[in-house]
Chains A and B, each alone.
Chain A
Amino acid sequence: MQKIAIVAYSQSQCVPQAGASNEVELIMPRLQEVYEQAGIRNAQDVDFVCSGSCDYLQGAAFAFVSGVDALGAVPPIKESHVEMDAAWALYESILKIRMGQAESALIYGFGKSSPGELPIVLSQQLDPYYLAPLWVDTVSLAAMQARLMLESGVISESDMAAVVARSRSNALNNPKAQLAAQVSVEELLREEEFVAPLRKHDCCPVSDGASAMIICTAEKAMEWGKPYALISGIDHRIETHNLGMRDLTDSPSTRTAALGAGADSGPIDVAELYAPFSHQEIILSRALGLGDETQINPSGGVLAGNLMMASGLSRIGEVFNRIISGDATRGIAHATSGPCLQHNLVAVIEGAA
C-alpha cells in the first residue's frame, strides 16, 4: 500500500474545562498551527478535509456542523465527517489519497466533554433495548473488565498502579498534559477506590480540546520541503457488542488490526496506546506483543489527558512527533472506540529515510 506522509500535527492543552470557548475556538488555533508547520495558508491549500466528533458531547444534533466554520470553506471545499474519533477521519482521508482524489488532507478532531457527564453520556452507546436503559456508565464497565483481569490473575493492582505512575511521570515532559506528577506505586495504592477495583487515577480525566493533522503523498511532502514521517500501514477492527461474548481480558481486534497494518514487519520503538483505563494499557500492550524495546505512551497517554474524539488522532500525532524529533524510527499508534475496547485502530508510522 502507498505510504502516506504526516507533515504537521498539533494538539491543544488538555484542560478539564475550556470555559466559554466554543468548538470553533478550540479548533482554530490547532488549524493555524498545522498550517504554519506545513507552510500552507489555510484549508483551501489542501485537497480534502475530514473531522471526527460526537454530537452528544455538545448535546445537539448536527453539532459538528459548526466545525466547518473554523475552516474558511469559501469557496466550498471537499469535506467529510465521521461520528468517530478523528483517527478514523485520518483513515477516510488516507483512502481519498490512495484513490487519487486528493494529494493532501487536513484532519481534525474535537470534543468539549465538560458540560455533560461523559461516562453517563457514553452509556447511551450501548444496545438501546437491553443495555442503554440500565445507564451502565463507561467507568463501571471498565471496572468490571479490571475485576475480570484481577480475579483471573492476569494482573495485580500494583501492575495497574505502575501504568499510572509511568503515565504521570512521562507526562511531566508533555506540556499539553492535564495530569503529571512524580508518584510511586505505593502512594497510588494508598488512595481509596473509586469504582472498585478502579481508583480515580486508573481512569483517564475528562478533557476539553482539539487536535489537527496534515497528511499528504510522499511526493507532496518533498515538494513542501518539511520534515515528515510515513504511515506505512493502518487498519481497524471491531468486535461483538455483546460483552458476555468477548474475552474482556484480551483485545483480538487490536491484534488483527496490528497485523493488517504490518506492525510485525519491524521493530517498534514507541507505542502510543489509547487506553482510557490503566488495565486497558496492559491488555493492549499484551495484544500487540510489546516488549521492553518499546517505549509505551511517552506522552503519558490518555491517562494524562483525554480529548474525547481527538485522542486517537493525537496518539498518531505523538508518534509522529517522536519520529520527527529523532527519538524513534518506527512506532505504532492505537485508537479505540466503544465500551471496553470494542473497536480498535492501529497505524504504523516510520521515518521518511
Chain B
Amino acid sequence: MTSNSAVLAAVVGIGQTKYQTKRGDVSIAGLVREAAVNALQDADLTFDDIDAVVIGKAPDMFEGVVMPECYLTDALGCNGKPMFRVHTAGSVGGSTALVAASHVQSGTFKRVLTVTYEKQSESNAMWALSSPQPFSVHLNAGAGGYFAPIIREYMRRSNAPYDAGIKVAVKDRLHGARNPLAHLHLPDITMKEVEESMMLWDPIRFLEACPSSDGACAMVIVSEDVAEDAPKPPAWIRGCAMRSEPTMYAGREEVSPQAGRDCAADVYKQAGVTDPRKDFDCAEVYVPFSWYEPMWLENLGFAPEGEGWKLTMEGATSLDEGGDIPWNCSGGVLSSNPIGASGMIRFAEAARQVRGDAGGHQVDGAKLALGHAYGGGAQFFSMWVVGAEKA
C-alpha cells in the first residue's frame, strides 16, 4: 500500500464561539470570524500569517446559502488566497479538520486556518433533512427518526439496561456544565428528569437528543517547524483517517458499521494505539443521541461487542465519577450541536485536552486523545489522534 511520507503537523490555535440557540447579534460571517479570530489569538498569529483557509459545514440548504465559501472569504481574511470547502454530511467537521491538516501534511502550506459552523437559528434542519429527493425514499423524520430503530436493535442485541442512554444524557450534561462554551448548562440534571422528558423517537427522549445550536469552531494547523515556535503547547496530529460506505446495502451492519471499525483501526495503527481504553487519556466522540455512546464504545474498540453499556454504567466514561476513559468532557454533541461544526469541536476538544488547555473539563495529564465524527446514515467516518508528544 502507501508509505506515509507526511510532514508532521500540529494544532497551535483553537477558537470557538459560545454555543447557544440563537446568535442574533452576529451574521453568519460574524459568527465564523469570531471563531477564527479566537483561534488566531490563541496561536498568536494574524490573518496575514495564514496561507490558506479550509471551511466546512453541513448542507448548504440549512441556511440557504449555496457554496458559502464565496460569501465568507472576506470575513475569513482569505482574499487572494486558496479557499477550500468540504462537505461530507455530519462528519464534515472532522473531515474538514483532516483536509486542513492535509494542506500542511502534504508540504504544500505552513499555516492553515480551518473553520466550521452552523447557524441553526437561521435555518431549519428538520425541513432540510426531510425535503423529498426525486430519486430516493422520502425520509420525513429527520435524523432521530433514522437512528431510533438502529438504537433499538442495539438494545435488543446487547441486553443493555433501559437507562444506559439516560445515564449518558446526564453524564454529558454534567460535563457540559463544566464548559462555559457549552450550549446546555444543566448542573442539576437527574436521571429522573431525563426519563420523564418527552419521548421524541422511541427510545430517544427529548433530553437524550442533542440541541440545535448556533456556533463556529476554528483551528490553526501548522507544520512542525512553525509549531516548535508556538506560544502555547501544540497538539501533534498523530493519525488521520476517513472511511465511507453506502447508506444501504445487503447485509449492512448498521449498529456497528464496518466503516467505523476500519477507520478506527487505520487511525490507531498510525498513532501506535493497540488498546484504545488504556492508550487514550480521553476521547471526544460524536454522540448526538445518548445511546450512541455505548454503541461507539464497541465500534471504536473501547469495549467488547455487547459490553459498551457496561463502561457507561460503571462511570468509566465520566469525569465526575473519576472514570478511567472520560468521553466527551466538553459536554459533547449532547450539550452543543452547531451541526457543521460539531465534528470539528470533537477534534478541537481532543486537541485542547492534550494541550492541557481544557479549563474546567481538563483531564489531568492528558497526553493522547481521540477526536471522532460520523455522518449520513452512520456511513461517513472521520477520526484523528492528537498527542502532547510528537510520537
Contact stretch, chosen from B129-137, B187-195, B316-324, B359-367 = B129-137
List, in ascending order, chain B residues with CB within 8 A of A59's CB. Answer: 131, 133-134
In the complex, B158 has a CB within 8 A of chain A: no
CB contact between B70 and one of A22, A60, A64, A337 (< 8 Å): that residue: A337
In the complex, A99 has a CB within 8 A of chain B: yes
In the complex, A338 has a CB within 8 A of chain B: yes
CB contact between A66 and one of B106, B136, B258 (< 8 Å): that residue: B136
Assess the B245–A237 pair: CB atoms within 8 A.
no
Assess the B65–A125 pair: CB atoms within 8 A.
yes
Within B209-262, the residues touching A (CB, 8 Å) are 240-247, 249, 252, 257-259, 262
Within A68-87, the residues touching B (CB, 8 Å) are 68-69, 71, 73-84
- Bound-state CA distance A121–B133 (Å) is 16
In the complex, B105 has a CB within 8 A of chain A: yes
- Bound-state CA distance A94–B242 (Å) is 16
In the complex, A23 has a CB within 8 A of chain B: yes
3 closest Cβ contacts across the A-B interface?
A: A100-B5, A61-B59, A98-B106
CB contact between A129 and one of B27, B78, B263 (< 8 Å): that residue: B27
Assess the A79–B242 pair: CB atoms within 8 A.
yes
List, in ascending order, chain B residues with CB within 8 A of A22's CB. Answer: 134-135
Query: Can you offer 5 A-B residue contacts whose CB atoms are under 8 A?
Result: A58-B133, A82-B87, A132-B64, A239-B80, A253-B80
Closest to A22 in B: B135
In the complex, A200 has a CB within 8 A of chain B: no
Within B1-33, the residues touching A (CB, 8 Å) are 1-7, 27-28
Closest to A103 in B: B2
List, in ascending order, chain B residues with CB within 8 A of A124's CB. Answer: 64-66
Smallest CB separation, B291 vs chain A (Å): 22
Binary per-residue interface labels of chain B (149-191) against chain A in the complex, 1 for a CB within 8 Å, 0 otherwise: 0000000000000000000000000000000000000000000
Assess the A82–B84 pair: CB atoms within 8 A.
yes
Assess the B70–A338 pair: CB atoms within 8 A.
yes
Known: A22-B135, A79-B243. A235 touches B82 (CB 8 A): yes
In the complex, A265 has a CB within 8 A of chain B: no
Binary per-residue interface labels of chain B (78-114) against chain A in the complex, 1 for a CB within 8 Å, 0 otherwise: 1111111111110000010001001101111000000
Q: Is the interface of B mostly helix, strand, loop or mixed?
A: loop
List, in ascending order, chain A residues with CB within 8 A of B88's CB. Answer: 80-81
List, in ascending order, chain A residues with CB within 8 A of B241's CB. Answer: 78
Assess the B244–A125 pair: CB atoms within 8 A.
no
CB contact between B28 and one of A62, A73, A76, A128 (< 8 Å): that residue: A128
Assess the B258–A238 pair: CB atoms within 8 A.
no
Closest to B89 in A: A62
Closest to B107 in A: A98
List, in ascending order, chain B residues with CB within 8 A of A101's CB. Answer: 2, 4, 6, 102, 240
In the complex, A181 has a CB within 8 A of chain B: no
In the complex, A16 has a CB within 8 A of chain B: no
Binary per-residue interface labels of chain A (189-210) against chain B in the complex, 1 for a CB within 8 Å, 0 otherwise: 0000000000000000000000
Assess the B133–A63 pair: CB atoms within 8 A.
yes
List, in ascending order, chain A residues with CB within 8 A of B131's CB. Answer: 59-61
The tally of residues in A whose CB lies under 8 Å from a CB in B reads: 70
In the complex, A36 has a CB within 8 A of chain B: no
List, in ascending order, chain B residues with CB within 8 A of A235's CB. Answer: 82
List, in ascending order, chain B residues with CB within 8 A of A250's CB. Answer: none
In the complex, B203 has a CB within 8 A of chain A: no
In the complex, A240 has a CB within 8 A of chain B: yes
Closest to A25 in B: B135
In the complex, B62 has a CB within 8 A of chain A: yes
In the complex, B128 has a CB within 8 A of chain A: yes
Assess the B67–A84 pair: CB atoms within 8 A.
yes
Assess the B262–A76 pair: CB atoms within 8 A.
yes
List, in ascending order, chain A residues with CB within 8 A of B243's CB. Answer: 76-79
- Bound-state CA distance A253–B67 (Å) is 18
Smallest CB separation, B111 vs chain A (Å): 15
Smallest CB separation, B372 vs chain A (Å): 15
- Bound-state CA distance A77–B5 (Å) is 21
In the complex, B73 has a CB within 8 A of chain A: yes
- Bound-state CA distance A237–B83 (Å) is 7
Smallest CB separation, B195 vs chain A (Å): 32
Closest to A100 in B: B5
Known: A1-B108, A59-B131, A62-B59. A242 touches B74 (CB 8 A): yes
Assess the B80–A237 pair: CB atoms within 8 A.
yes
Within A36-59, the residues touching B (CB, 8 Å) are 47, 49, 54-56, 58-59
CB contact between B242 and one of A58, A75, A80, A253 (< 8 Å): that residue: A80
Known: A75-B258, A81-B86. A343 touches B70 (CB 8 A): yes
In the complex, A96 has a CB within 8 A of chain B: yes
In the complex, B60 has a CB within 8 A of chain A: yes
Assess the B66–A92 pair: CB atoms within 8 A.
no
Known: A68-B247, A79-B243, A102-B2. A127 touches B71 (CB 8 A): yes
Smallest CB separation, B159 vs chain A (Å): 28
Known: A55-B59, A61-B62. A115 touches B73 (CB 8 A): no
Assess the A95–B103 pair: CB atoms within 8 A.
yes
In the complex, B376 has a CB within 8 A of chain A: yes
